[in-house]
Every structure is written in structure tokens, then in C-alpha cells.
A and B are shown apart, each in its own frame.
Chain A
């Protein structure tokens, strides 16, 4: 079974703090993704990575950065957390088998609250 784990289920931070969200997958997947999920807005892609040290902006990258130093690990960084970054953050991974759908497998999510 594919397993995607996220470092924290719940996180509370203060405005201006630097926040690190960690994601690890154990299926040797090439692609990894960070989304945020908000009521009424659904899942929105923040960043993705298709290889180690490679990253691409998604639809809402502002205020975020990412790091992928190892294939299995993809980190999301909030340089200076703000209250509008309070959200559910979901990590996903997929292989690069382009004959199929590059099915994305999700982690359990991190619910981040910024006070």
C-alpha cells in the first residue's frame, strides 16, 4: 500500500512565525504535491515537484516555498505565517507512469491554525 505521511495532524502557530510542514512517501514516487483545502474553494495546488531538487509553482504559490532534497521527502515552508494561511494542508505523491493517470495518493493532512 502507498503510504504518505505528514509530520503533524494539527499545528498552531503565531503570525510571523516560520512554519515547516513535512511530507514523506514510501513508494519511490517521482512526483510530490502540496495542496491547501478550504471550504467552498476545494483543493488548490500550491507547489509540486517532479524530481529531487526540482519544483514548479502551482496555482497559489504566494507566501510559500518548498524544498525537495531527497526523493521521499517534500517540505512546505511558510516563511512568515499569516492568518489567511490557516487551512488544511494536504501532501500527495504519484509515479510518472504516463500510460495511466499518474494517480495521486494523499496524506492525512495537517490542519494549521495561525493566530
Chain B
């Protein structure tokens, strides 16, 4: 079992939809989780990070960690075509991150 698992998609949604992106993780010793967004042929850029459990909101984006089910989620409200990208979740540790494989999202105008 991979330490961080993520459905690769692709996920296609109409503009304005609420998007839910999910990851599962296996090692509950780590408590920091990150979401990166990667546009085609570009490097990943940090979107949000969360600590332990609960929600964190930033504009249209909400990150959620459910420790009991070992689930990490990213919600995008009012999705826009400019949100079309690959979204990577990662669990952070000292020096090393473990990344999911990424979910490709396409928001249709």
C-alpha cells in the first residue's frame, strides 16, 4: 500500500461546480498535509497546508483532514476554467514529503 493514495482522474466538471478532491494516507504519525496545484508543463505551486484535523479555508479553497478515517480533502467552490490543473496532495515530514500521484481536474466553460 502506498503511503499516500490519490485517484488520478481525470475529473471533468462544469464551471461553477463544487469540486471535491481526495487523498488517503496510511501513516498517522504525520500531521501536516499539503495541497499543490500543477499546471501543465509547470512546477507544482503550494496551494494550502493543514495541520492535524479540521478545516482550513482560503478564498474558494477549503482543505480538510479527517484523522479518524485518514482522509485528506480539498474542496473548490465556484470552480473556474483556470482551476484546470493537476492537484497533488502530500504529507509533510522532516525534509521528506510523500506525494500522491495527483488528480487531473478539468473545469469546462
Contacts and interface: CB of A to CB of B under 8 A. Distances in A.
Interface of A: 4, 31, 40-43, 45, 48, 50, 56, 58, 90, 98, 101-109, 111
Q: Enumerate the 9 nearest inter-chain pairs by beta-carbon distance, A residue then B residue, closest first.
A: A42-B101, A106-B43, A43-B99, A101-B32, A101-B92, A108-B43, A106-B44, A109-B43, A42-B99
Nearest to A41: B101
B85 to A, nearest CB: 14
12 contacts: A40-B8, A42-B102, A43-B99, A45-B96, A45-B97, A102-B92, A102-B95, A103-B92, A104-B97, A107-B43, A109-B42, A109-B43
Interface of B: 6, 8, 32, 34, 36, 41-46, 49, 51, 88, 92, 94-97, 99-102
Given A40-B8, A41-B101, A43-B88, A102 B94 contact: yes
Most buried by A among B42, B92, B97: B97
A107 B42 CA distance: 8
Contact of A101 (B42, B44, B49): B49
Contacts of B94: 98, 102
Given A40-B8, A42-B100, A101-B34, A48 B42 contact: no
Given A101-B32, A106-B43, A109-B41, 9 more contacts: A4-B43, A42-B99, A42-B101, A43-B97, A48-B95, A90-B44, A101-B92, A106-B36, A106-B44
